[in-house]
Structure 1
Amino acid sequence: MLKLREEQITLWDSIISESVWSLPEELAKIDALLDDERFMQPFLEKHHTRRGRPTKAIETFLRLMYLKRRYNFGYESLVQEVGDSLTWRRFCRIPIDEKMPDPTTLIKARQRYGEEWVEQLNELLLQKLDEAKVLKHRKLRTDTTVVESDVHHPTDATLLQDGVKVITRLVGKIRKVASEATRNFEDKNSEVKQHILSIAKLLRRRTQQSWDELNAITEQVVAMTEDVCQKSTAVMNLTKDKGKASVKAMKEKLGEAITLTQKLVDQAKQVVSGNRIIPDRIVSFFDPEARPIKKGKLSKSAEFGYKARIDETENGFVTGYELYKGNPSDDEMLVPAVVQHKERFGSVPRAVATDRGFGSKKNESTLAELGVTRISTPF
């Protein structure tokens, strides 16, 4: 059952001095902003029943998520910091004598509500600011940046190592329920690790001979990985789930791991053969949608993650954003940004400014047709 607010007043509200409870200016403004009933709408749409145990109050969940994002906390550190602060407890509407929610409760709530509620809240916030005449949206500036994934620096051999590790771990779980099916499977983690360590020593020499030796070692890792994929496929085919959902889920995960590892094997073979330019190159086993993106930074020749478009108004508010898979060209993003701005505010901006990557004659003519009068897109 969805619980929106904590209506019950505690004894501490009347005993503790207001000076102790008072919120700092920033939190006071956020607190007043989140009291708007419209911010409850995304959660009401997610819950269609009044049955069951009450959820944690949504007003508390919202404020906890604000603090998490504002100070970049993890879930455990968030719970600890809020629990130790009278001010933050007051902001989150958590009484002094009430136990803090468990981090896993917040994680499950975040997963249950999905990503849509964040986008809906952003739209509602922009709507509220526009109604209050805080936003000025006659001018628009758009740019791109990279949202980096939390991955190790990718090499073909280490990506294959990740695949072997995951497959071996999943086969180990299957062995507990179907040992006969895993009889011919061998753990090659230690062999692959030895080859990875030898690669690190070779790279220090930086000679042509070392690169040839590197390719030879990568080929050996590829051969071992193919053997692991072949034998794990046999394990998956021999394992009978017998109607057990847990065994069926393990087989599905194993199948997904094998498929991804085989893609990494094909990718490594191309690199060893001399093809260094691979479209949609996978750079992480654990985040296969991440891509290498070059932004011309001297400190980083390439970043690994996702390209993000950010739209900003004349008074510094971010009014639009989009996260892209792969590495699309910047000039493909300008017109969608202006169209999104028009849909959100009912009119196109009078002025649009971008950097050189967005500039093209086609974009300028399209923006002029949409009604933009001042266009600054150098090319």
Structure 2
Amino acid sequence: MYKSQPYIQISFEDFNQPLGLHMNPENRWVKKAERIPWSALEKDYAKNFPNPKGNVAKSLRMALGALLIQKEYHYSDEETVAQIQENPYLQFFVGLPGYQEEAPFEASSMVHFRERLDEVTLIEINEKILAYNQKEDDDPTPPTDGSNSGTLTLDATCAPQNIKYPTDTELLNDVRTHAEKIIDALCEDHQWKKPRIYRQVAQKVYLNIVRRKKKAKKWLRPQIRKMLGFVKRDIKVIQKFLDQGAHLTEQQAIWWETIQKIYEQQRYMYDNHTHSVQDRVVSFHQPWLRPIVRGKAKASVEFGAKFDMSLDQGIARLEYSSFDAYNESDILVSTIRRYHDRHGYYPERVLADKIYRNRKNLNYCKQRGIRLSGPALGRPKKNEVRDKTTEDQDNADRVAVERGFSQLKGCFGADLITTKRKDTTLSSIALSVLALNLSQLTADFLRQILSSNFKSKQIKNRTVYFSFFSKFTIIQ
């Protein structure tokens, strides 16, 4: 049940401040709240609760506000609630009518907030916030001659998941222990005698592997074969119980499917003397994760969701996300089409990596008069004259998307995703992009306010502007 709130958007003057509490109207959370069209978002959010019965759900402002606060400070669910309870500015941001000493909700409600605000919903909210803050001079006048205008920057990265580094022995041990839990539960429910599965011997083999510092290949391979044998025995026992009419719970059914898949992959790699397999599972509790080969100096392989992000007039947008290692070049055409839908014309240039420059994308851009940055395909021509000025400018402008990735991972939690569900992991990435844009919009808004209060004076034909963001900036 959702109780629609036909309220007028709470302004700072309407916030009930206790006697003796003096709040600063220029606080960043007050300014961030002004950048979000809460009333319009509230109407769309209320449509997700058609049932008029049940407990009243929390408002969108409280749900989205709490998630943005958590993303800003990297708090846990419990710490996020505690900080909101203690901070009047955060209480204003989540939409409370006044300061209160009680917690506005339980920490467990954060899980429901992440489930309701999924990836698609957050992308829509991001677009509505951008449209709400769009000024007349933000979007230039469309070209009357049908030419292209603007720059679209596109790149891909990976958001690593908070899991332990996957090894064959660790995965097989997780499979074995969870298979034993299923066997114990089925025997207890049906009053069956527990079969002999040699769990103590299997645990001893696993501990011998863990405690050994140097694991030679010739020594490790027989140990993996033993662990595969223990898992195979457990699978046969569970299958026998299922044939006798036993039923698994929902959680046990998920475990059972993961157990069989990991065993098949590990058996295939053992028999074929390889360490790669299609759709390899790297985590028992999050079987949708896949290894993403990045080739970076810090980590050649990362485990998490891969996503494409575009920059249009300094605004970030999540174009595509997946747990599979997809080819980034397939996203270029759809990204350009969405740019055309927003502006009514194509970009003049697209700044992207070399991987986006395949024949399909080059022909698509050529037919529409779009210049795709980067060198030409094939070997360089004998007397080719390259425009170094244009190439250097493209490389310099493309740094903006790399800076966006750095801010996403350094400031808004995309460097380590701690959510446990598949849908909440994707929504966490979309929330990081939304928080990045909101921070950018707030910074631009503060610059406009403070620009009228800047102190300036002439020093040898130079004007020195003192601003809020830096000690001084010298402009010729």
TM (normalized to structure 1)? 0.84
8 A contact 2:15–2:92 mirrored in 1 = no
Shift in CA distance, 252/12, structure 1 to aligned 2, threshold 3 Å: closer
When you count helix as a share of all residues, which structure comes out higher? Answer: 1
Find the aligned partners of 2:15 and 2:154 in 1 and give their Cα distance.
Answer: 49
Residue 73 of structure 1 corresponds to: 75
- Aligned partner of residue 254 in structure 2, secondary structure: helix
| SS of structure 1 residue aligned to 2:308 | strand
Gaps of 5+ in 2: 141-148, 378-476
Aligned to 1:158: 170
How far residue 96 of structure 1 moved from its aligned partner, in angstroms, is 1.1
| Secondary structure at 2:310 match in 1 | strand
Q: Distance in 1 between matches of 2:240 and 2:16?
A: 65
1:316-363 Cα shifts (integer Å, max 9, x gaps): x20233112311122222222222333344432221011122222321
Is the contact made by 2:336 and 2:346 (CA closer than 8 Å) also made in structure 1?
yes
Q: Match of 1:362, SS?
A: helix
CA RMSD of aligned residues (A): 2.9
Unaligned runs of 5+ in 1: 241-247
Q: CA deviation at 1:165?
A: 2.2
String of CA shifts for 1:191-216, please: whole Å, max 9, x gaps.
444323333455625xxxx2022111
Q: Which residue of 2 aligns with 1:376?
A: 373
2:327 alignment partner in structure 1: 329
Q: Residues 320, 115 of structure 1: CA spacing in aligned structure 2 closer, same or farther, 3 A cutoff?
A: closer
Where 2:158 maps in the other structure, the secondary structure is strand
Q: 1:15 to 1:298 in 2, by over 3 A?
A: closer
2:305 corresponding residue in structure 1: 306
2:120 match:
116
* Contact 1:156–1:264 (Cα < 8 Å) also in 2: no
Q: What is the distance in 1 between the residues matched to 2:211 and 2:240? A: 35
Match of residue 217 from structure 2: 211
**Taking structure 1 as reference, are residues 38 and 201 closer, same or farther at Cα in structure 2, changes over 3 Å only?**
same
On the 8 A contact 2:294/2:301 being kept in 1, the answer is yes
- Verify: 1:271 aligned to 2:269, yes or no: yes
Equivalent pairs counted in the alignment come to 361
Query: 1: distance between equivalents of 2:267 and 2:213?
Result: 19
Q: Which amino acid aligns with 2:78?
A: E
- 1:110-130 C-alpha deviation (Å, 9 max, x unpaired): 324544322221232233344
Task: Supply the distance in 2 between the matched residues of 1:226 and 1:24 (Cα, whole angstroms).
Answer: 64
User: Partners in 2 of 1:163 and 1:346 — Cα distance?
Assistant: 53
Whether 1:285 and 2:295 are equivalent positions in the alignment is no
For 2:199 and 2:105, how far apart are their aligned partners in 1?
39
Alpha-carbon distance in 1 for matches of 2:7, 2:183: 51
Distance across 2 between alignment mates of 1:192 and 1:342: 60
**CA, structure 1 residues 174+121, in 2 after alignment: closer, same or farther (shift >3 Å)?**
farther
Larger relative contact order, structure 1 or 2 (CA cutoff 8 Å, min sep 6): 2
Partner deviation per Cα, 1:227-268 (whole Å, 9 max, x = no partner): 11111222334455xxxxxxx6x4343333223222212221
Determine if contact 1:6/1:57 at 8 Å carries over to the other structure.
Answer: no
* Aligned mates of 1:190, 1:343 — CA distance in 2: 63
Identity within the alignment, %: 17
Residue in structure 2 matched with residue 349 of structure 1 by the alignment = 347
